[in-house]
Amino acid sequence: MEPLHDLTIKKFHEGLLDKEFSALEVTQAYFDRIKTHDKEIGAYLSLAEESAAREASAVDVAIAEGDDVGMLAGVPLAIKDAILVKGQPATAASKMLEHYVASYDAGVIEKLKSEKTVFLGKTNMDEFAMGSSTENSAFKITHNPHDLSRVPGGSSGGSAAAVAGNMALGSLGSDTFGSIRIPASFCGVVGLKPTYGAVSRSGLIAMTSSLDQIGPITKTVEDAAILFKAIAGKDPMDATSSDADYDNILDPKLDRIKSFTIGLPEEYFIGGLDPLVSKEVEAAIEKLKSFGIKFKKVSLPHTKYAVPAYYLSMPAEVSSNLARFDDIRYGVGPGEKRPDNLMDIYFKTRGEKFGAEAKRRIILGTFVLSSGYYDAYYDKAQRVRTLVKRDFDEVFKDVDVLLTPVAPTPAFKIGEKIDDPLSMYLSDVFTGPANLAGICAVSLSTKPSSALAAGELPVGFQLIGKKWHEADILGIGQYYEKLN
C-alpha cells in the first residue's frame, strides 16, 4: 500500500478503485500512526475509531457490490473541534464545552457524509478559534510536525498538524482572520479560506459570524479543490450562504491561467518581513514568472488599518456569540455541582471556564458596544472595513489575483508570543484583510515538504482572489505544484 506520506485524495481514490487497499485498511493505518505519533504532536482532542471503522467498511462494501463511489468516498478526514459532528465531542478547545457532545451535524459534515468520507476525530485549536498558535487551547499544546519546539499556527493548528504529520488525508478548519492559512503556512500544507458565503457556517461554533468561513486543509491544491467543491453551496440553515458555479474548479485551463496578471501589493512586502519569508516568496514569484504569468505592483493603502479595525469590531461579535455559554444549556461534567443561585452560575462558570483570551475579547467587546464608545470604536471599525474592501475592489479592476506572504514569519517558538496578545495579533496582518473584504484566499507552501532540508521550516505564500473566484487561485496553485 502507498505509504501515508505520499498519499493524496486523488491517489487514495485511484488505489481504492484498483483494489490496492481497502478503505478500512487505510483508516486503520491512520489510527496506527496517530497512536505512535500524536503523543508528541498533539493534533487530536478526540478520536472516533468505532464510527470511522463503520464508515470505512461501508465504502468497502459499496465498492465490492460494484456501486459507483465519488472521489471522497472513504477519505479519512480530521475535523476542527469547533465543527459539529453528531455524536462526537465538540469542545472548541474550551472548558466551557468540555462535556458537550454534538446533537446534530454541521452543514459541511452533512455534505461530506453524503460523499461517504470517514471522520477520524476532532482536532485541537485555540479556544473558540481565538489565537494564531493553538496555544490558547484549554486542553493541550499542539506541536509543529516540522519542529516540535514550534507552534503549528492557529487557530486551526490541530487540523494543519494532523495533515502535515500524516495523521489525516485532509482536514477542515475555520478561518476568521487567518486561522486556516497561518497554520497551513507554518505546517507546509495547503489551506483555503473560501469566499464569505461559499460554505455553510451552520454547525460551526461561531466566533465572528460576519467573518468566519470553514475551509479545507490538504497536502495538495488539487485536494483542496476536491474538498472545497464538496462542502461549497447553499444551505438553508445559513442565510448568508449561496450557490456559485464551481464546475470547472478541478480542471483549470492552462491558457486562462497564463493570461492572468498577478498583483503584488506593496503594503505586504514591508521591512519587517522575516528574511526566510522574503526569500521563499520571491522564489515563488520567479517560478510563476517563468511560467509566463505577468506581475504588476499595486497598492492597498488601507492595509495597516485592517488589524485595528478587526480587533475593535470582532470582540463585539465575540461578546454576543459567547453570551450563550453559561452552564445553563451545555454539558456539566459528572459530579460537577452548579451553584444554587442563577447569578452565581453565570459569574462563576464564565469566570472559571473561559480562558484568558476569551475573557479579554468578551470584556473588550462589551466595552466597544457600550454607550459612549460605540461610535468611536465599533462603528468606526466597520467604516474602516468598507475602506479595506474598496481597496480590493479597486485593484481587482487591474489584476486578476494578488500574491503576498501569509505571515511575517515562519512558525515561531512555543511560548514566544503567548504572554503578549498584541504581538500575537500582528501575526494576522497579511491574512485578515481578505476576511474583512469577504474574498477568497489560499495559502500554499513555496516548496513540497519532501524538498525541505533537515531543520528547514516551511513557508507559505498567499494567493488572494475575487469573490467567488476560487477557481482562479486554485488554478494557479495547481499549476504551481506541477512546476515544483
Partner 1 sequence: MSSSINKEKLEHLAKLARIEIAPGEEEKLLKDLENILEHFKELEALDTTNVPPMAGGSDLLNVFREDAKENGGRENTNRGAGVDAFPESKDGYNKVPPVFE
**Cell numbers at residue 45, please?**
482532542
- What are the residues whose beta carbons fall under 8 Å from the beta carbon of 215, sequence distance 6 or more? 172, 173, 174, 175, 180, 191, 192, 193, 194, 199, 228
H-helix segments, 18-133 = 23-41, 49-64, 107-114
d(Cα 477, Cα 390) in Å, to the nearest integer?
A: 26
Of 284 and 439, nearer to partner 1 (C-beta) is 439
Strands 294-298 and 118-123: unpaired
Walk across the sheet containing 76-80 and list its strands.
44-47, 118-123, 76-80, 170-175, 213-218, 190-193, 440-445, 460-465, 401-405, 261-265, 294-298
The interaxial angle of helices 221-231 and 9-17, nearest 10 deg, is: 80
For cell 470582540, what's the residue?
A: 315
Subset of 424-443 contacting partner 1 (CB under 8 A): 425, 435-436, 438
Residue 173, beta-bridge partner list = 215
Of 100 and 246, nearer to partner 1 (C-beta) is 100
Subset of 74-133 contacting partner 1 (CB under 8 A): 86, 100-101, 103-105
**Cell numbers at residue 460, please?**
507559505
From the list 179, 185, 200, 313, the catalytic residue is 179
Subset of 196-255 contacting partner 1 (CB under 8 A): 196-197, 202, 210-211, 235-237, 239-240, 242
Is residue 242 annotated as part of the catalytic site, yes or no?
no
- Is residue 324 part of the contact set for partner 1 (CB under 8 A)? no
Subset of 160-199 contacting partner 1 (CB under 8 A): 196-197
- Is residue 51 part of the contact set for partner 1 (CB under 8 A)? no
- Is residue 338 part of the contact set for partner 1 (CB under 8 A)? yes
- Is residue 326 part of the contact set for partner 1 (CB under 8 A)? yes
How far apart are CB 48 and partner 1 at their closest, in Å?
17
The interaxial angle of helices 306-321 and 380-395, nearest 10 deg, is: 130
Give the total of residues touching partner 1 (CB under 8 A): 74
Subset of 281-320 contacting partner 1 (CB under 8 A): 302, 304-305, 307-309, 311-312, 319
Of 295 and 373, nearer to partner 1 (C-beta) is 373
From the list 80, 193, 229, 353, the catalytic residue is 80
- Is residue 1 part of the contact set for partner 1 (CB under 8 A)? no
d(Cα 171, Cα 156) in Å, to the nearest integer?
A: 10
Choice from 115, 274, 379, 416 touching partner 1 (CB under 8 A): 379
Of 326 and 456, nearer to partner 1 (C-beta) is 326
Of 30 and 311, nearer to partner 1 (C-beta) is 311
Subset of 340-369 contacting partner 1 (CB under 8 A): 340-343, 345-348, 350-352, 354, 356, 359-360, 362-364, 366-367
Is residue 132 annotated as part of the catalytic site, yes or no?
no
- The DSSP annotation for 342-380 comes to HHHHHHHHHHHHS-HHHHHHHHHHHHHTSTTTTIIIIIH
Kindly indicate which of the ranges 154-162, 185-193, 262-270, 375-383 contains the residues binding partner 1, using the contact rule CB under 8 A. Answer: 375-383
d(Cα 226, Cα 104) in Å, to the nearest integer?
A: 24
How far apart are CB 195 and partner 1 at their closest, in Å?
9
How far apart are CB 398 and partner 1 at their closest, in Å?
21
Of 44 and 311, nearer to partner 1 (C-beta) is 311
Is residue 370 annotated as part of the catalytic site, yes or no?
no
Nearest Cα to Cα of residue 259 among 235, 292, 287, 283: 292
- CA distances to 41, 380, 404 from 374, rounded to whole Å, are 43, 8, 33
How far apart are CB 57 and partner 1 at their closest, in Å?
25
Of 249 and 316, nearer to partner 1 (C-beta) is 316
- What are the residues whose beta carbons fall under 8 Å from the beta carbon of 446, sequence distance 6 or more? 280, 281, 283, 284, 458, 459, 460, 461
Active centre residues (catalytic): 80, 155, 179
